[in-house]
Amino acid sequence: MKTNRKALLTSAALAAAAGLGAATALAQDGPIRIGVLEDQSGDFAAATMVKVHAIELAAKEINDAGGIAGRPVELVVYDTQSDNRRYQEFMRRVLQQDKVDVVFAGFSSASREAYRPIVNQFDGLAFYNNQYEGGVCDANMIVTGAVPEQQFSTLIPWMMETYGPKVYTLAADYNFGQISAEWVRQIVAENGGEMVGEEFIPLGVSQFSQTIQNIQATDADFVVTLLVGAAQASYYEQAASADVGLPMASSVNVGQGYEHKRFTPPSLKDMYVTTNYIEEIDTPASKAFVEKFRAMFPDEPYINQEAANSYIAMNLYKQMVERAGSTDHDAIRAELGKGDVCFDGPSGNVCLDPKSQHMSHTIFLAKVEADHSIAFPTVWENIAPYWLGDAGCDLTKNDPSAQYTPSSPPPAN
């Protein structure tokens, strides 16, 4: 793979374009260096290879169009092997040795927490382009992935209205699962529903007979599946063969690991997912995105929400640097603080929230049909990441560099 080392994407076309016109003040600064730390091998590779490709696509487009403020973009890519330690090693490497201007990094929340202290120590700027459990209030981080309030405040009420008020939650037994389950519980209660069961599954468990029976023993109207990883994904096949037959709601499947493409129909039948992007979305912007993506990477198995987020993040960064007139982090954050950093991309219009430095999204409800094709029963536009700001995180005023959850919110002041 050419991408894996320091892939230098300085395009020849750019050199020609920038040669006379834009080569005035900014050209002497040299290229803008962007660090990319993503898992290209190991457990998470299936969902994250495409993120690297999306960043490469965006870099090529930016360079072809004259770079960021006339400066070409240069990517510094490392493979983190789905290993937290590699994130620690390589985050130091890109910040200290490669001296990049910005980093795009991380898939699992654990990897984000592993590199965050290092980003803070060197006062770097990192984009985390993943859907996650929410709550990171850190001035050095910009998050473009969807968070629970965006995915569940839409999904759960819709499901309860459509299928009934009794909810069973099946969640991976770690931070993402537990915090997401907390959100589900809260939203179900707010909407007058009832939790008939809640079960947490350790990571790596692949046998679900008992769980399936527990679900059948209740009179649940639908199951919220917040399962993570290849082993736990075995649940769907096993539940289907035991004729559980309940609709499923999820914030994590399909949009990330494209399970509907990998599993044999109809094991994912009647799964409902809220996602901010998947390649089936039938808008002109999305179709154009898929087309140019496949033109550059014809063998890409699936273009997921993280790919779109990474692509959007590149363009948001470009916009902020050009508006600020520099790659200085304070100048960039000053632009972000104005609250009008928006981008009309493959998933519709998105904006960065100055208080939490998270991103608003168009949330699509994707329904998996019996043949594993995707339908979109409804779409919610412009869903803001409201929770952190409401709870008291305001990065325009102070920077606690912490992660909060609904049960341990920011300290009241």
Q: Which of residues 130-189 bind other proteins (CB under 8 A)?
A: 173-175, 178-179
Return the residues of window 385-404 that contact other proteins according to CB under 8 A: 402-403
| 113 vs 84: CA distance, rounded Å | 9
CB of 362 to other proteins, least distance (A): 28
CB of 231 to other proteins, least distance (A): 5
Helices (H), 139-258: 148-163, 175-190, 209-217, 229-232, 234-241
Q: Considering beta carbons, is residue 211 or 309 the nearer one to other proteins?
A: 211
C-beta separation of 137 from 162 below 8 A: no
For residue 294, give Cα distances in angstroms to 7, 96, 115, 259, 290: 20, 35, 32, 20, 6
Any contact of residue 355 with other proteins (CB under 8 A)?
no
- Specify the amino acid at residue 376: F
**Spatial CA neighbour of 272 closest among 166, 149, 377:** 377
- Give, as one character, the DSSP assignment of residue 97: I
- Please provide the size of the chain in residues: 413
Return the residues of window 285-324 that contact other proteins according to CB under 8 A: 301
- Answer whether the bond into residue 266 is a cis peptide, omega within 30°: yes
Any contact of residue 196 with other proteins (CB under 8 A)?
no
Any contact of residue 5 with other proteins (CB under 8 A)?
yes
Please identify which residue in 22, 26, 110, 384 interacts with other proteins, judged by CB under 8 A: 110
| 363 vs 253: CA distance, rounded Å | 14
Any contact of residue 241 with other proteins (CB under 8 A)?
yes
Please identify which residue in 45, 196, 342, 384 interacts with other proteins, judged by CB under 8 A: 45
For residue 344, give Cα distances in angstroms to 104, 191, 304, 382, 410: 20, 33, 18, 12, 32
CB of 44 to other proteins, least distance (A): 9
Pairing outcome for strands 248-250 and 271-275: parallel
Q: Considering beta carbons, is residue 93 or 367 the nearer one to other proteins?
A: 93
Please identify which residue in 12, 20, 28, 209 interacts with other proteins, judged by CB under 8 A: 209
Cα–Cα–Cα angle for 305, 308, 88, nearest 5°? 80
Residue 86: phi and psi, rounded to 5, are: -65, -35
Any contact of residue 244 with other proteins (CB under 8 A)?
yes
CB of 88 to other proteins, least distance (A): 5
Please identify which residue in 12, 21, 28, 210 interacts with other proteins, judged by CB under 8 A: 210
Helix (H, G, I), strand (E, B) or coil at 125: coil
What would the x/- binding string for other proteins be over residues 63 to 92, using CB under 8 A?
Answer: ---------------xx-x-xxxx-xx--x
Q: Considering beta carbons, is residue 205 or 384 the nearer one to other proteins?
A: 205
Q: Considering beta carbons, is residue 194 or 237 the nearer one to other proteins?
A: 237
Span of 25-33, 36-44, 51-59, 281-289 interacting with other proteins by CB under 8 A = 36-44
Pairing outcome for strands 136-137 and 402-403: antiparallel
Please identify which residue in 96, 373, 378, 382 interacts with other proteins, judged by CB under 8 A: 96
Return the residues of window 247-286 that contact other proteins according to CB under 8 A: 261-265, 267
CB of 40 to other proteins, least distance (A): 6
Any contact of residue 24 with other proteins (CB under 8 A)?
no
> Where do we find the tokens 């993570």?
228
Any contact of residue 370 with other proteins (CB under 8 A)?
no
Q: Considering beta carbons, is residue 26 or 231 the nearer one to other proteins?
A: 231
